Amino acid sequence: MSESDRATGTGGRAGTGVGAETRGDRNGDTGRDTHRVIEPSVLYVGTPAYLVATRNPDGTANLAPASSHFALGRTIVLGLEAGGQSLDNARGHPELTVNFPSASQWRHVERLAGVTGRDPVPPAKAGAYEFEPRKFERAGLTPSVSDLIEVPGVAEAPLRLEARVRRITPSVNGEFGMVEAEVVRVHAAREITVAGTEHLDPEAWHPLIYAYRHFFDRGAEVGWTRKTPFPVAPAPVERWELAGGTWRVAEVREGSARVDLLRCDGGEVVETITLNDPRDVRWAAVKLAEDGR
């Protein structure tokens, strides 16, 4: 992950070594045996990998793999290596696309790991990298014309963002830059969206996870929050609502839930149904939490 290797790095030495153990002893830390003080070379704890496309000075497109990023609202912040072609391009032409591949596309990402868009190859990369001006071809990917910016996206990426760079902040150690970009358009493959809504379907979306220099698919869902969107109620509940009735979640257990179907005035229980489908049980659990029960 050439653009992100330096962008994450390690978190320094504070709180490690003998001093940390001494503090644990002084505080009566009984959990010392469950943890070790370590010095990992990187802190890639596990985030979606992405391909960032930028515009070269000659008008061609550069494409590079990276993993350091976070998003708040319509702003995405990328950590890009200082001296890399992507960061220089973002300064010269403040537009880019952020393309999230699926887990099954990891080989396309890895094909870009040993190449650079800089010519000549920087001394720090000499011997380990080679210059490649045709990054899309090298990765076996297709450029896709963007709607609102001049930089292309990756046609095969299930999720791609068009963005305009608003600010670039150098890191304290000068090894990377923090690129703040405003997302102006989102393209999502139909199969990873929820029909009739603006939502991505988290069950269908399998981003490529990069953790400690290994690629992973995400695992099964283990939980949810009150803000988890559930656009469709279970079929029997939806039919009851269409008939003018009301309902309340009576109970949620491991693997099942009970819902009372009520008269239109919310009074008498006409029928109690049991939900067993995992999605329906999850829906019931969230509704119960929303009611504060």
Structure confidence by residue, pLDDT tens digits, 121-148: 999 899 999 999 999 999 999 999 999 9
264: Cβ contacts below 8 Å, ≥ 6 apart: 244, 245, 246
Closest C-alpha to 233, from 222, 249, 221, 220: 249
| From the candidate CATH numbers 2.60.120.460, 3.30.1510.10, 3.50.50.60, 2.30.110.10, the one assigned to the domain spanning 2-27+39-216 | 2.30.110.10
pLDDT-based confidence at 46, cuts 50/70/90?
very high
| Most confident region among 97-111, 186-200, 215-229, 240-254 by mean pLDDT | 97-111
Closest C-alpha to 51, from 143, 126, 189: 143
pLDDT-based confidence at 290, cuts 50/70/90?
confident
> Quick one: pLDDT at residue 29?
54
Average pLDDT over residues 195-206: 90
pLDDT digits (tens, 9 = 90+) for 82-99: 999 999 999 999 999 999
pLDDT digits (tens, 9 = 90+) for 219-232: 887 777 767 766 56
> Quick one: pLDDT at residue 178?
98
Domain segments of the chain as ranges: 2-27+39-216, 235-290
> Quick one: pLDDT at residue 8?
43
> Quick one: pLDDT at residue 226?
66
Average pLDDT of the chain, as a whole number: 88
> Quick one: pLDDT at residue 283?
86
> Quick one: pLDDT at residue 287?
85
Task: Please say whether the beta carbons of 75 and 165 come within 8 A.
Answer: no
d(CA 155, CA 42): 31
Closest C-alpha to 97, from 135, 47, 140: 135
The larger pLDDT score, comparing residue 138 to residue 28, is at 138
SS3 label, residue 56: coil
The larger pLDDT score, comparing residue 230 to residue 285, is at 285
pTM of the complete model: 0.76
Average pLDDT over residues 196-211: 93
pLDDT-based confidence at 3, cuts 50/70/90?
low
pLDDT-based confidence at 80, cuts 50/70/90?
very high
> Quick one: pLDDT at residue 6?
43
